[in-house]
Structure 1
Amino acid sequence: MTDLSKKEQLYALIRSNPFISQQELATSLGLSRSAVAGHIAGLIRERRLLGRAYVLPDSRPVLCLGAANLDRKMRTLATLQMGTSNPVRSTEVFGGVGRNIAENLARLGLPVALLTALGDDAAGHALQTHAEEAGIDMRGSLHLANTGSGTYTAVLDEQGEMLLAMANMQLYEQLTPAFLHSRQPQRAQAALTVCDLNLPHDSVAALLDEARQADGHAAPLVIVGVSQPKMAHLPQDLAGLQLLILNRGELETRVARALPTQADVHLACREVLRQGVRQLIVTIGGGGVLFTDGEGADAAIAHLPALAVNPVDVTGAGDAFSAAVCWSLYHDSHDLKLACRRGLKLAAMTLESSATVSPLISASVLVELDNAAAAPSPILYQQD
């Protein structure tokens, strides 16, 4: 048998078990340890393996950092009346921006891991079990004794639009820079890192510092907004950040002013780009999405309209959008036009579902979208 066929057999064994030892490989193939080491070195030079952990390029996960909550949704059965009791229909589901993005990515067929904080209560155990059954690697998450898991309570009107939400998420303050450092071996294996702004300011700053120091040689970093109050967790200097995803309200908080017109939104996008982020997406609800066509402060800003939907529940639509964008970055580099088209599709599916993560989402949905007639070309604004 030739050395080439031995090398391919060795590669096949590693594909089936990336944690196999060199001695096990040598025994299985009838080779010496030194011969196995030589083949592995060759595969690393060819970029078919990534380092000593035998991480295959197509098995590197998307690493999500952020919240995993028990979400309570209460939908009024009639127009809300303040100062009195209102009849509602209530449900409890698994949520949290980081967790929602991770579950959407798992449904899209990507390897995905989630670093979050869980309490030692029934909700924490249920969140862990559900995530693992969905295909999310939870091994690096933080388990806190004598602590309740995060909760998010949303009040929706009779059309499913959010009227008010209340978040109990203090436990995520434990996702400190020291915690991130303790998970460095796991984080180093990521193909893409996605962070929601439930992480404390110092931890987000640490991730940005790492990205700047890596100077493009590490996994790209994506930061996703959570709410207007949580924008305080986003440092001013965004250098090193590949992509920032915000909604209109979060953008208003970032620039500290109201943005009543599309021209105002456009100018605010330009201001955020000057803070150092390479790419920016701003979702504007029924108005669609703005995104950078190119990278850096001088990139053009383009627009795609939202898809027509009959909304059932708005919860999770933005997270599905962000997941589709991340799926696209994982596969197609930094083409935000394509990424936003996919994101709008998954957001529409989620809006038409009563579930926070639509059970109909799969990679085939995006493949079918790509094979359909081309979407309208984006409108390019004149650069300032």
Structure 2
Amino acid sequence: MDSKKDQLLALIAHNPFISQQDLAERLGLSRSAVAGYVAALTKERRILGRAYVLPGARKLVCIGGSNVDRKLRGLEALQMGNSNPARLSESPGGVARNVAENLARLGLQVQLLTALGDDAAGRYLLGHAASVGVDSSASLIAADAPTGSYTAVLSPEGELVLGLAQMDLCERLTPDYLRQCAAQRAQAGLTLVDLNLPAESLAFLLAEAAEEKAAPLVAIAVSAPKMARLPKSLEGLSLLILNRDELAAATGLVLAEDEPATLQEAHEALAARGLQRLIVTQGAGRVFFGVAGQALKSLKPPATPVVEVSGAGDAFAAGVCAALLQEPEDLAAACKLGLRLARLTLRSEHSVSPELSPELLLP
């Protein structure tokens, strides 16, 4: 017969939220005996801290924006100040949400913590997440505000001309909400956050990571204006992924085109604030990456035909995170997988390429 400790572990595996009182009653033990077994299992790393999280249940946790993307693609060269004929398409969107779907299509376990309205758009996003394997069951649902939306105006070639985002609900992803999601966040092998979050929530997550109370934390920029949300101290931030304009906004530096020395200066400025690793994307240009205290390295993305640019940056970030979950120290390999996913997305009309599959993670 299994030992009481093994029986207790089996009950926890069946229901990670079971109380110690329930465990005591089901096993015929005292409450103090159960507490002793839980402490022993935690010390043995057979359960992980609060909420009885089992090691095999580790997930990628994505925190940030979800919205409905509306893309208006011009049928002819766009003329500002005039009415232009266009083709409209709608799809799920949002940086954190897009990254989560990319990861799920790679066959990884993903938890999405986001904010949605109690409306048709919100229900559509919840249903779509479930259909692709993203667990968004702990998301905040607001009855008094609409689900976010993002409208992209694209040129006939698929390049972004203008983007308009209505993401007010993300302001409700507060530290209190994050505390309420402690059980879900405790399952993370890696946590990814986008900068749609309020500044105080970003500071809360960085403080947790700096105290080693949480999984490695990766932040993805959303836009240059939202770089102001990034805390001054970046202690606890394992990796920051952004583009050249966002890097300039984060550092206040003028970053000249085709001058890696200016990127290195910005890299050193962020490292001085506590950032561990940095990745800078430049569209079709070179991707720069590096670790604090070292010179930036770079990769040249292979040329690829562009159907549409929407979602390519999110696909890149998803590839980086998926690779780091397997090989945490190999930033070059992470960038290579990110570029591979971005290339597939650029060749697709979708914000998340339907060609993604678990085979992309094979050696």
1:237-252 alignment runs, 5 A limit:
237-252=233-248
CA distance in 1 between counterparts of 2:230 and 2:221 reads 9
- The answer on 1:359 being equivalent to 2:357 is no
Choose from 319, 336, 340 the match for 2:335. Answer: 340
CA distance in 1 between counterparts of 2:2 and 2:120 reads 56
1:274-313 alignment runs, 5 A limit:
274-292=272-290, 295-296=291-292, 298-313=293-308
Choose from 116, 123, 126 the match for 2:124. Answer: 126
CA distance in 2 between counterparts of 1:268 and 1:305 reads 20
The equivalent residue for 2:46 is 48
CA distance in 2 between counterparts of 1:135 and 1:211 reads 27
- Describe the shift of the 1:45–1:168 C-alpha distance in structure 2 as closer, same or farther (beyond 3 A): same
The equivalent residue for 2:265 is 267
The equivalent residue for 2:93 is 95
Q: What CA deviation, in whole Å up to 9, does each residue of 1:4-61 have, x standing for no partner?
A: xx98898677666656788999999xx8658998876665443233246442223122
Bigger drift between 55-64 and 81-90 goes to 55-64
CA distance in 2 between counterparts of 1:2 and 1:175 reads 43
The aligned amino acid for 1:229 is P
Choose from 223, 227, 233 the match for 1:227. Answer: 223
Does the 8 Å CA contact 2:305/2:346 hold for their aligned counterparts? yes
The aligned amino acid for 1:242 is S
CA distance in 2 between counterparts of 1:49 and 1:181 reads 20
- Describe the shift of the 1:94–1:61 C-alpha distance in structure 2 as closer, same or farther (beyond 3 A): same
Does the 8 Å CA contact 1:22/1:33 hold for their aligned counterparts? no
The aligned amino acid for 2:206 is L
The equivalent residue for 1:374 is none
The equivalent residue for 2:250 is 254
- The answer on 1:327 being equivalent to 2:322 is yes
Q: What CA deviation, in whole Å up to 9, does each residue of 1:199-251 have, x standing for no partner?
A: 11121122222222x1x352111110001111111112111111111111101
CA distance in 2 between counterparts of 1:7 and 1:176 reads 38
The equivalent residue for 1:59 is 57
The aligned amino acid for 1:121 is D
Q: What CA deviation, in whole Å up to 9, does each residue of 1:306-353 have, x standing for no partner?
A: 122111111111111111111122221231111111111001111111
SS in structure 2 at match of 1:62: strand
Q: CA deviation at 1:366?
A: 2.5
- Describe the shift of the 1:217–1:19 C-alpha distance in structure 2 as closer, same or farther (beyond 3 A): closer
The equivalent residue for 1:77 is 75
- Describe the shift of the 1:258–1:79 C-alpha distance in structure 2 as closer, same or farther (beyond 3 A): farther
Choose from 146, 149, 168 the match for 2:147. Answer: 149
CA distance in 1 between counterparts of 2:51 and 2:173 reads 26
The aligned amino acid for 1:162 is L
CA distance in 2 between counterparts of 1:82 and 1:211 reads 46
- Describe the shift of the 1:181–1:43 C-alpha distance in structure 2 as closer, same or farther (beyond 3 A): closer
Q: What CA deviation, in whole Å up to 9, does each residue of 1:54-75 have, x standing for no partner?
A: 4222312221111000000111
Does the 8 Å CA contact 2:58/2:187 hold for their aligned counterparts? yes
* Structure 1 consecutive aligned stretches of length 4 or more whose deviation exceeds 3 Å: 6-28, 31-46, 51-54
CA distance in 2 between counterparts of 1:41 and 1:236 reads 37
The equivalent residue for 2:206 is 208
The aligned amino acid for 1:144 is A
The equivalent residue for 1:171 is 169
CA distance in 1 between counterparts of 2:329 and 2:56 reads 17
Q: CA deviation at 1:265?
A: 2.1
Choose from 81, 104, 110 the match for 1:112. Answer: 110
TM-score under structure 2 normalisation?
Answer: 0.89
Q: What CA deviation, in whole Å up to 9, does each residue of 1:342-380 have, x standing for no partner?
A: 11100111111111111111221131xx3xxxxxxxxxx
The equivalent residue for 1:317 is 312
CA distance in 2 between counterparts of 1:230 and 1:2 reads 54
Q: CA deviation at 1:98?
A: 0.7
Q: Which ranges of structure 1 fall in alignment gaps of 5 or more residues?
A: 371-384
Q: Which ranges of structure 2 fall in alignment gaps of 5 or more residues?
A: none
State the Cα RMSD in Å. Answer: 2.6
CA distance in 2 between counterparts of 1:288 and 1:67 reads 27
- Describe the shift of the 1:217–1:27 C-alpha distance in structure 2 as closer, same or farther (beyond 3 A): closer
- Describe the shift of the 1:16–1:311 C-alpha distance in structure 2 as closer, same or farther (beyond 3 A): farther
Identity of aligned residues (%): 53
CA distance in 2 between counterparts of 1:288 and 1:189 reads 34
The aligned amino acid for 1:363 is P
Q: CA deviation at 1:133?
A: 2.0
The equivalent residue for 1:161 is 159
Q: What CA deviation, in whole Å up to 9, does each residue of 1:169-221 have, x standing for no partner?
A: 11211112222223233323322211100011121122222222x1x352111
The equivalent residue for 1:379 is none
The aligned amino acid for 2:286 is G
SS in structure 1 at match of 2:249: helix
Aligned length: 359
Does the 8 Å CA contact 1:104/1:357 hold for their aligned counterparts? yes
CA distance in 2 between counterparts of 1:46 and 1:119 reads 42
